[in-house]
Structure 1
Amino acid sequence: MRRDVAVEVSRLLDEDSAALQLEVLSTWGGLDRLLTRPRIQKPGLALSGFVKHVYGDRLQVLGLTEIDYLLSVGEEAARVGVEKYCKRKLAAITLTRGLEPPPPLMELAEQHGIPVLRTPLMTSSFITRVTRRLEELLSPRANIHGVLVDVLGVGLLLIGRSGVGKSEAALDLVLRGHRLVADDVVEVTIRPPDTIWGSATQLHQHHMEIRGMGILNITHLFGVAAVRDNKKIEVVVELSDLHEDDYDRLGTENNAWPVLGVDIPLVRIPLRAGRNISSLIEVVARNQILKYRGIDSAREFQEKIATHIAMTTGVPLPSTSPEDGAPATPLPPQGSGRVQLGDVE
């Protein structure tokens, strides 16, 4: 697993950060300075010299209030406060609303090698966007061996041993009108509060490897509607050739596959000759949509059997509450609810 603990300021200027609309005002270096927290900081009293709570590893954001203050107190007073502020080893200073920086700010920033950026966005809009972007860049990440597809709007991560047929199943799903996100290597990350998103690595994006055919460009073959750049992972589908007894026959076990500490529902599909795997995967997506709407077919069937047993035998149903999560039936016990599977690098 690879974890990002810091990100260079220059990452806020790349193509993926275009929504921030940032430009560099400084002509000196410093874009390799590191940000380690997704939260930004507005200096406030720090510009008057009280810098105790200024954190250099956060992006500093100056809006209309801060610039008006520096212009109103006079150049000498502004220089005293800004000099103490810049001595906090700031990673970067950003001006919003397209404001012009006062001369003391630029001079002292240059003296301390602090990059100065500017955006035309309003302060509140910029803070929302840059916080979201920094959360993405600083989130824990991992590379998983598998295939990620978007089926009916549901993100399905296909896992299994190498050569089991994950890519072939994904290709069949693309032929059915669904979308490929990543093949072979899926880069996953956490988005607050606890959702897992997956995407392809930059080199593998929109490509798929099919044994006997080699590398295919899915965009060129099927068009841009057949791919997407990233998707929330909502169900993990394991394709394997384990013994039939290893599978849940009723579909009532709450198995999960942990990714970066977040448990994702797991469905295990046994491989047999002649089975239409892509159709089964599509049904998994449809069933997940039903569960989002509060419809659990397996549980409803189980409750129907339990009711029938109670009516024919006179044995009362065990009382359960929705909070305890216990099965409202004397049928066989459920699974452990947590399965450690797959390859996480």
Structure 2
Amino acid sequence: MKTVTVQELVDRFSLEVLAGNMQTDRTISKPWVHRPGLEFVGYFDFFSHAHVQVLGKKEITYLHTLTEEERMLRIGNVVRYHPPCFIVTGNQEGLKYLTQYCDQEGIPLLRTPLATSKFMSLVDNFLAKLLAPEITIHGVCVNVSGIGIILRGKSGVGKSETAHSLIRRGHRLVADDSVVLKKLSSETILGTHDGKTREFLALRSIGLINVSRLYGRGAFQDETRIVLDIELTKWEEHALNNDLELEPKFTEYMDIRIPHIEIQLQPGRDVAGLIEAAANNWYLRQQGYSAAEEFMKRLQDS
């Protein structure tokens, strides 16, 4: 099971450690943070105690209104579940009682100057990506006009060369050779690199190039949501389909279906242009437009 340490959270968001500074090696295994509001009033049926606990202005203000005896009882009831850590937002003060309990139980108590909603959004995204189920596939990942695409095909078919042509047209490389796919939700796949190949593209007869150094920072991006799976194959005579509306095909990655297209390669064929057309056509379909439907309507109206 993938985990993140509390120390990684401290380093990533420059958090102030108020208590439990010797326990920042505690691990976090659940994405999404939790605000223990109902738990402070005694309701624990659905307490997400394995998640990072965020204490915003509402929670801290409520604790301040309690008597010392009530406050210690409420905090003790939550702390005994030993969540990975507590994070207080908005640089709130008057936390001596909370510091005492966290020190006793060895739970890190952290603080950030950021507002609760903004901080929770940042941490949720950070944890979701790091803890997401992932697989690595052989291929190339590109972002074409804001649309994430996987290019697959047999070794030597021309995936990297096609990616290079797309970069020359102003699009962006995400990963070459090893594409890391992360499942962020039941509908979302994120494509990224493995770190070692970041910004690198391997071209036959040329060698390794750094696309950011060669074409500028706009030639690369770290990640993209995958919405199209394109397989590059060798040309086969009479194998192309010229139907007005092709039957939808899909490729599954971690139980998520991604629309699949096959593009055959032939010398002189503008493959990069076809990929641009596929990306733009996918976008139009999301807007509810179908060229085939419009064409058939014109025929009917004529």
Bin of the TM-score, shorter chain as denominator length? 0.7 to 0.9
1:296 paired residue number: 290
Q: Give TM-score, length-normalised by structure 2.
A: 0.86
Instruction: Say which SS state the counterpart of residue 25 (structure 1) adopts.
Output: strand
- Deviation of residue 204 (structure 1)? 1.4
Q: From the two aligned structures, give the one with the greater strand fraction.
A: 2
C-alpha contact (below 8 Å) 1:188/1:197 kept by paired residues: yes
Whole-angstrom distance in 2 between the partners of 1:303 and 1:72: 68
Deviates more, 1:53-62 or 1:237-246: 237-246
User: Which amino acid is 1:185 matched to?
Assistant: S
1:205 paired residue number: 198
1:8 paired residue number: 5
The unaligned stretches of length 5 or more in structure 2 are none
Instruction: Say which SS state the counterpart of residue 146 (structure 1) adopts.
Output: strand
- Deviation of residue 5 (structure 1)? 4.9
Whole-angstrom distance in 1 between the partners of 2:193 and 2:216: 17
Compared CA separation, residues 265 and 49, structure 1 to 2 (3 A) = closer
Alignment of 1:275-286 (within 5 A): 275-286=269-280
1:330 paired residue number: none
1:322 paired residue number: none
Compared CA separation, residues 85 and 271, structure 1 to 2 (3 A) = same
User: Which amino acid is 2:227 matched to?
Assistant: E
Whole-angstrom distance in 2 between the partners of 1:243 and 1:280: 17
Cα shift readout 1:271-294 (whole Å, capped 9, x = no counterpart): 223323223222222333333343
Instruction: Say which SS state the counterpart of residue 100 (structure 1) adopts.
Output: coil
Identity over the aligned pairs, expressed in percent?
A: 35
Compared CA separation, residues 78 and 175, structure 1 to 2 (3 A) = same
Q: 4, 28, 34: which one pairs with 1:41?
A: 34
Q: Give TM-score, length-normalised by structure 1.
A: 0.76
Whole-angstrom distance in 1 between the partners of 2:70 and 2:211: 61
Whole-angstrom distance in 2 between the partners of 1:124 and 1:238: 41
Compared CA separation, residues 176 and 99, structure 1 to 2 (3 A) = same
Whole-angstrom distance in 1 between the partners of 2:107 and 2:233: 54
Q: 222, 240, 258: which one pairs with 1:229?
A: 222
Whole-angstrom distance in 1 between the partners of 2:69 and 2:17: 26
Instruction: Say which SS state the counterpart of residue 225 (structure 1) adopts.
Output: helix
User: Which amino acid is 1:199 matched to?
Assistant: T
C-alpha contact (below 8 Å) 1:258/1:264 kept by paired residues: yes
Aligned residue pair count: 301
Q: 254, 263, 270: which one pairs with 1:269?
A: 263
Instruction: Say which SS state the counterpart of residue 163 (structure 1) adopts.
Output: coil
Instruction: Say which SS state the counterpart of residue 19 (structure 2) adopts.
Output: coil
The unaligned stretches of length 5 or more in structure 1 are 312-345
Compared CA separation, residues 242 and 82, structure 1 to 2 (3 A) = same
Whole-angstrom distance in 2 between the partners of 1:291 and 1:42: 39
User: Which amino acid is 1:178 matched to?
Assistant: H
- Deviation of residue 243 (structure 1)? 3.6
- Deviation of residue 43 (structure 1)? 2.5
Compared CA separation, residues 274 and 57, structure 1 to 2 (3 A) = same
Deviates more, 1:228-237 or 1:33-42: 33-42
C-alpha contact (below 8 Å) 1:206/1:218 kept by paired residues: yes
Deviates more, 1:256-265 or 1:276-285: 276-285
Alignment of 1:5-84 (within 5 A): 5-15=2-12, 18=13, 22-26=15-19, 28-44=21-37, 46-47=39-40, 53-84=46-77
- Deviation of residue 52 (structure 1)? 6.0
1:132 paired residue number: 125
Instruction: Say which SS state the counterpart of residue 282 (structure 2) adopts.
Output: helix
Compared CA separation, residues 49 and 152, structure 1 to 2 (3 A) = closer
C-alpha contact (below 8 Å) 2:20/2:102 kept by paired residues: no
Within the alignment, does 1:287 sit opposite 2:281 as a pair? Answer: yes
C-alpha contact (below 8 Å) 2:144/2:172 kept by paired residues: yes
Compared CA separation, residues 301 and 69, structure 1 to 2 (3 A) = closer
RMSD: 2.8
Whole-angstrom distance in 2 between the partners of 1:101 and 1:34: 27
Within the alignment, does 1:254 sit opposite 2:248 as a pair? Answer: yes
Cα shift readout 1:113-168 (whole Å, capped 9, x = no counterpart): 11111112222333333333333333222212111112222222110011211001
C-alpha contact (below 8 Å) 1:34/1:57 kept by paired residues: no
Instruction: Say which SS state the counterpart of residue 208 (structure 1) adopts.
Output: strand
1:164 paired residue number: 157
Whole-angstrom distance in 1 between the partners of 2:261 and 2:122: 36
Deviates more, 1:208-217 or 1:279-288: 279-288
- Deviation of residue 53 (structure 1)? 5.0
Within the alignment, does 1:175 sit opposite 2:168 as a pair? Answer: yes
